[in-house]
């Protein structure tokens, strides 16, 4: 993994944290360049680079002959507001629009602020390549395994169980079904516990692929309100599940997409108890669980599950590489049915890939690469937010994600970000309009930006141009 000039970034982050926590207040003077250079044992140019980074982020200002000071008026950063959601479930009809957005966003050469994907320079691709070569050499029989009977590779299951010990596990090896992705895991769970016409509760806003899955299975979606800081409203879910119409819940509890919220442990516990009492299965998407920005890996709701009612889905698409196509579900008491659905849908997941992943987890390489990746994502999210504060129209609200790779913006006025998306696409800038995150069209003035790429002048120019285009929208 490439480590980019981390020393100046680390110093900049340290001061950004002090400013954020108000240890350094508006107008305070930062230590001099010479002092910082001595204290931190960094070169003068590294310290200067850190201070300029803080300046770029709008946190400090340079005063000639006096030094660097915390800005008196930091760039405004209000957060989006919670919204009311429709009381009834709705039919989902969104796939065509999603497909169009994804196609335009995936053209070569676009400024990659669309799909929630990391830049490959940040990913441990070389290590994975080496592991493919050695696994294929050392375990040639893997290519003779029968993909319809040998579903799970024991080495991978062992690692998944082991890792779960760090977040309230252990998972039971018998409940695990290895899948081709997190999306496949969620698809199989939905197939296992619903039938066409049923209602599935989703967060509002909700990751658009979940809406696509719901649409493709002929289900209806009931949007549950969220708080842009705390995530899902368990109280609202309590009300929504009283009449017994909700047949399953599909939630991202850790670093949700698009809000980046992590549900508190207390809320996770309440959620698990509530759904257990009502007999409603929870399909939990924990793809960002390892990619939080805080001190500890947040527990998934699954950690509070005593009865097997939670189906925990995840993959390594955001944390190793999306090309691995390997995920899993720990399906609790639904495991037999989920396994049956997996056999019907696609047979086993590639056994070579499963063993490659097992080795990567086993050797500690995954944890090492995660540390750098989390730092990179956090910095990139922070920089994108700074640039949005600077270049988007006044009144733009921005989330403060607790993990993951995306930012969610709420634009002022009565604007339609579908139009912004079209205009940006003409200029080769990708982004995702808010409309795709709600089956009832609740977020037409919102926008999601991917922050998975290292900060470059091209990305900054893309954010700036998006801000200009946003300011020129009808209704702005």
Ligand X SMILES: Cc1ncc(COP(=O)(O)O)c(C=O)c1O
CA dihedral for 204, 205, 207, 211, sign (positive or negative): positive
Please, which residue, 181 or 233, has the CB nearer to ligand X? 181
Q: Does 322 bind ligand X (CB under 6 A)?
A: yes
Please give the Cα distance from 15 to 21 (Å, whole number): 10
User: Token pair 């590294």 is at which residue?
Assistant: 46
Supply the DSSP string of 110-157, one letter for each residue: -BS-SSS---GGGS-HHHHHHHHHHHHHH-GGGGGS-TTT--S-HHHH
DSSP run (H or E) holding 50: helix 44-56
Chain positions 242 to 281 lying near ligand X, rule: CB under 6 A, are 252, 257
Chain positions 57 to 116 lying near ligand X, rule: CB under 6 A, are 116
Stretch that binds ligand X, among 37-45, 136-144, 179-187, 419-427 (CB under 6 A): 179-187
Stretch that binds ligand X, among 25-33, 43-51, 178-186, 187-195 (CB under 6 A): 178-186
Q: Strand, coil or helix: what is 274?
A: helix
Stretch that binds ligand X, among 9-17, 32-40, 53-61, 181-189 (CB under 6 A): 181-189
Total chain residues near ligand X (CB under 6 A): 14
Q: Does 285 bind ligand X (CB under 6 A)?
A: yes
**Residues found in the chain:** 476
Q: What counts of helices (H) and strands (E) characterise the chain?
A: 15, 15
Q: Does 315 bind ligand X (CB under 6 A)?
A: yes
- Which residues sit opposite 250 in a β-bridge? 202, 283
Taking the alpha carbons at both ends of the chain, their separation in whole angstroms is: 42
Chain positions 109 to 168 lying near ligand X, rule: CB under 6 A, are 116
Q: Does 181 bind ligand X (CB under 6 A)?
A: yes
**Phi and psi dihedrals of 139, rounded to 5?**
-130, 65
**CA proximity to 151, closest of 16, 375, 331:** 331
Stretch that binds ligand X, among 93-101, 237-245, 314-322, 426-434 (CB under 6 A): 314-322
Stretch that binds ligand X, among 46-54, 74-82, 160-168, 175-183 (CB under 6 A): 175-183
DSSP run (H or E) holding 284: strand 282-285
User: Token pair 């980046």 is at which residue?
Assistant: 260
Cβ(400)–Cβ(79) under 8 Å?
yes
Give me the least distance between CB of 252 and ligand X, in Å please.
Answer: 5
CA dihedral for 229, 241, 212, 281, sign (positive or negative): positive
Give me the least distance between CB of 207 and ligand X, in Å please.
Answer: 4
Please, which residue, 252 or 356, has the CB nearer to ligand X? 252
Task: Return the residue of 114, 124, 327, 351 that touches ligand X, per CB under 6 A.
Answer: 327
Q: Which two tokens stand for residue 338?
A: 């989920």
Q: Does 207 bind ligand X (CB under 6 A)?
A: yes
Task: Return the residue of 24, 177, 232, 287 that touches ligand X, per CB under 6 A.
Answer: 287
Task: Return the residue of 182, 250, 263, 459 that touches ligand X, per CB under 6 A.
Answer: 182
Give me the least distance between CB of 317 and ligand X, in Å please.
Answer: 3
Give me the least distance between CB of 435 and ligand X, in Å please.
Answer: 17
Stretch that binds ligand X, among 86-94, 143-151, 315-323, 365-373 (CB under 6 A): 315-323
Report the interface residues with ligand X, using CB under 6 A: 116, 181-183, 207, 209, 252, 257, 285, 287, 315, 317, 322, 327
């Amino acid at each position: 993994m490439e480590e980019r000039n981390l020393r100046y970034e680390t110093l900049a982050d340290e001061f950004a944290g002090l400013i954020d926590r108000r240890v350094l207040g508006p107008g305070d003077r930062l230590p001099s360049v010479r002092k910082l250079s001595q204290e931190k044992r960094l070169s003068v140019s590294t310290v200067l680079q850190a201070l300029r980074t803080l300046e770029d982020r709008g946190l400090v200002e340079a005063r000639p002959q006096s030094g660097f000071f915390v800005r008196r008026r930091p760039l405004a950063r209000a957060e989006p507001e919670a919204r009311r959601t429709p009381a009834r479930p709705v039919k989902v009809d969104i796939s065509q629009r999603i497909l169009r957005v994804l196609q335009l966003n995936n053209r070569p050469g676009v400024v990659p602020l669309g799909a929630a994907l990391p830049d490959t320079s940040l990913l441990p691709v070389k290590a994975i390549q080496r592991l493919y070569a050695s696994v294929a050499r050392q375990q040639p029989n893997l290519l003779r395994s029968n993909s319809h009977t040998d579903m799970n590779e024991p080495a991978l299951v062992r690692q998944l169980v082991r890792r779960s010990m760090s977040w309230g596990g252990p998972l039971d090896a018998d409940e695990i079904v290895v899948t081709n992705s997190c999306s496949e895991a969620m698809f199989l769970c939905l197939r296992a516990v619903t039938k066409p016409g049923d209602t599935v509760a989703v967060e509002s806003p909700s990751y658009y692929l979940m809406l696509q899955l719901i649409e493709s299975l002929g289900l209806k979606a009931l949007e549950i309100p969220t708080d842009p800081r705390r995530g899902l409203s368990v109280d609202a879910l309590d009300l929504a599940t009283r009449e017994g119409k909700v047949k399953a819940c599909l939630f991202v509890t850790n670093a949700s997409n698009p809000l980046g919220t992590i549900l508190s442990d207390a809320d996770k516990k309440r959620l698990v108890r509530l759904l257990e009492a009502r007999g409603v299965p929870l399909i939990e998407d924990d793809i960002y669980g390892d990619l939080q920005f805080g001190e500890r890996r947040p527990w998934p709701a699954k950690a509070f599950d005593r009865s097997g009612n939670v189906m925990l889905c995840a993959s390594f698409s955001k944390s190793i590489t999306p090309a691995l196509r390997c995920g899993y579900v720990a399906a609790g008491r639904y495991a037999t049915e989920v396994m049956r659905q997996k056999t019907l849908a696609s047979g086993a997941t590639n056994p070579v890939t499963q063993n490659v992943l097992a080795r990567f987890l086993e050797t500690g390489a995954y944890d090492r690469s995660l540390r750098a990746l989390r730092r990179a994502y956090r910095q990139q999210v922070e920089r994108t937010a700074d640039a949005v504060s600077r270049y988007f129209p006044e009144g733009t609200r921005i989330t403060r994600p607790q993990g993951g790779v995306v930012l969610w913006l709420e634009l002022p006025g009565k604007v339609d970000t579908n139009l912004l998306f079209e205009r940006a696409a003409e200029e080769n800038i990708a982004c995702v309009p808010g409309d795709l995150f709600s089956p009832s069209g609740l977020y037409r003035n919102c926008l999601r930006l991917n922050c998975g790429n290292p900060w470059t002048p091209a990305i900054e120019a893309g954010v700036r141009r998006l801000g200009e285009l946003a300011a020129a929208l009808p209704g702005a």
